[in-house]
Chains A and B, each alone.
Chain A
Amino acid sequence: MRMSMLELRDVSVSYGQKKIVENVSFSLEEGHWLMIIGPNGAGKTTLVKSIAQAVPYTGDVLLDGQNVRKLPPGQRALEIGILSQTHHIDYGFRVEEVVRMGRYAHERSSGNGLWGRRDPGGDAAVQRALERTGLKELASCSVLTLSGGEMQRMFFAQLLVQDPRILILDEPMNHLDPEYQMQLISLIRDWLEEGKEQDRKEGQIGRSRAVVSVMHDLTMARAYGDEALLLSKGHTAAYGSVREVLSRKTLAKVYHTDVIGWQKEMMEYFE
């Protein structure tokens, strides 16, 4: 019997008087990928930020039944990690240095003492993440010289190195060309599979994994997601399996156009 790994209960976020997200609830099983979709300004980014504890919210975010709000920052980083939508860097760090920053929580976890920076798995993890994201050649380049897509991959590599159990991805396909979009998709799917394998091997539920991502591309959401949550003006318009949520009728209502019909029409040009 699979238990739900991540659960949101009545999460609401408001900036001042304005309510951005209102009473959103969902539960996510281990090994699953939840797609958060919806029109511009629906509150998707704010919702995922609240899961990552980056904005103040009301309601509860539970991880294996435990309230995430009560975790100290270092421990939270080992459980939940977020890839932001925009990045702006002012100083010329090396790509490798930025990726390694993802190990912060591991370097500071218990047993390392006051000056402890020991992190036995660090070097291997950094090298592996650089390889998987295709940044090996750029490892010692200044981040100021990176393109938007390279920057996005660098922060994804940082997230891989951080090795949380839940990946929160805010429009991960941003800035990426189709080749890297495909690579990222397979990276995320491999990452989820690895979690399931570890589970089977060790017979423990502790290190299972799940992904929550904001997606604008509905085709991708339909193809790779397990569940979907459709947001509209901060409210849950639909929630369930991708098959149910991403139906032509539901989408047409929220987006005010026949989105699926339009996409089909475009695909015809390739026939």
Chain B
Amino acid sequence: MILMKKQGRSNRTVYERFPAGFYPAAVLFTFLVFCLCVGAGSVAISPAHTIRILWSALVRTLTGSGQGLLGAVPDTASAIILSVRVPRVLCAALSGASLSLCGAVMQGLLKNPLADGSTLGVSSGASLGAALAITLGITIHGTLWSGATLMAMLTAFLSMIFILSLAYRLDRSLSTNTIILLGIIFSMFISSVISLLIIFASEKIRTYTFWTLGSLAGTNYRNVLTLLIALVICGAVLMRYAAELNAYSIGEENAANIGVNIRRVRLVILIAVSSLIGVCVSISGTIGFVGLVTPHIMRMLIGPNHKRLLPASLFGGAVFLMLTDLLSRVICNPLELPVGVITSFVGAPVFTYIFYRTRSGRE
């Protein structure tokens, strides 16, 4: 499991050189998981057949023959793969990568290994925005994003600002306990507000319930494009701040001393993170703990340096959510579980474990 560490003399943890083959291996592994997830499901399609279908679709799209990706599908297997599974698995990969990246960033920024969209209450904030947009029928014309997406991004940002400023007022050091406690209280409050909304708009109750649990069912290529654009823009911004995040994770005071413009960098990072979480939530609901579990595993594998941790978390998150989504599809076949149920099932014990370790590590 541990790739970079070995116990040196005098019982110190010593790091080995970062293996050059890590990224190629990560890309290959992610691709293999992608093929597995596209092939497996209630209708099983062999890996070889899956890759053949994907390849011919790719060739058709690139050469422009036929009617593109979705036109003229030769058989049922192709239809299932191209119009249902590929967009769904791509959405899973992109959401997973985004949520995991956001988790890694927040954990560095707040110097808090338990920070994550779901524990900070940002995901709840985003879901309130999306819920409001749906019940009140808010639409914003002239943009690529739907009303729900924009509202989710906005409320995600506002709730992040709200929670962090409250935490700052209570305790300047932004300690783990304060933030997590506030995040949980905030989430509970938001969920009661959403429950109210559901009661007053009962005709949409099923959509809501499913959506707040987090689900990737019914996602399409439009969602894939939305996620991809959000991830490329916000991801580029966040990756650019890897050095600053390293400084924050040593401590804000030290970051200021070495010359980081701590206020401005923090604001830009918070905007990028909440936008990305907002987009994810508006498409797949609140999928908890992805941003907690994968960065933690990656940190154990390759160390806390964000220059490597952020890209590694992208791959890790993509793989984690593709696999959990696959589980949610097949575990109770033909019944489908919301993927959020699975991630929370895995995530809650991991959260407890990290919390235990951070608590017992001190003093």
Please list the residues of chain A having a beta carbon within 8 angstroms of any beta carbon in chain B. Answer: 52-54, 72-78, 81-82, 84, 87-94, 97-98, 101-102, 104-105, 107-108, 115, 117, 138, 140-142, 144-145, 155, 158, 162
Contacts and interface: CB of A to CB of B under 8 A. Distances in A.
B253 interface: yes
A108 B259 contact: yes
Contacts of A97: 246, 305
Contact of B258 (A72, A75, A90, A102): A102
A144 B303 CA distance: 12
Interface in B1-46: 5, 8, 11-15
B14 A93 contact: no
Contacts of A107: 243
A144 B358 contact: no
Given A84-B254, A90-B111, A145 B260 contact: no
A101 B250 contact: yes
18 contacts: A74-B259, A74-B261, A76-B259, A81-B258, A84-B253, A90-B112, A91-B111, A93-B250, A93-B303, A93-B305, A97-B246, A98-B250, A102-B258, A105-B258, A108-B259, A115-B240, A140-B15, A145-B11
Interface of B: 5, 8, 11-15, 108, 111-113, 240, 243, 246-247, 249-251, 253-254, 256-262, 299, 303-305, 358
B257 A89 contact: no
Contact of B15 (A77, A91, A142): A142
Given A74-B261, A94-B303, 13 more contacts: A53-B256, A90-B112, A90-B249, A90-B358, A91-B111, A93-B304, A98-B250, A101-B247, A101-B254, A138-B12, A145-B13, A155-B254, A162-B259
Given A92-B303, A93-B304, A115-B240, A142 B259 contact: no
B243 A117 contact: yes
A92 B357 CA distance: 14
A84 B250 CA distance: 13
Nearest to A102: B258
Contacts of A78: 259
A162 B260 CA distance: 12
Contact of B259 (A90, A104, A115): A104
Nearest 3 A/B pairs, CB to CB:
A77-B259, A105-B259, A91-B304
Nearest to A162: B258
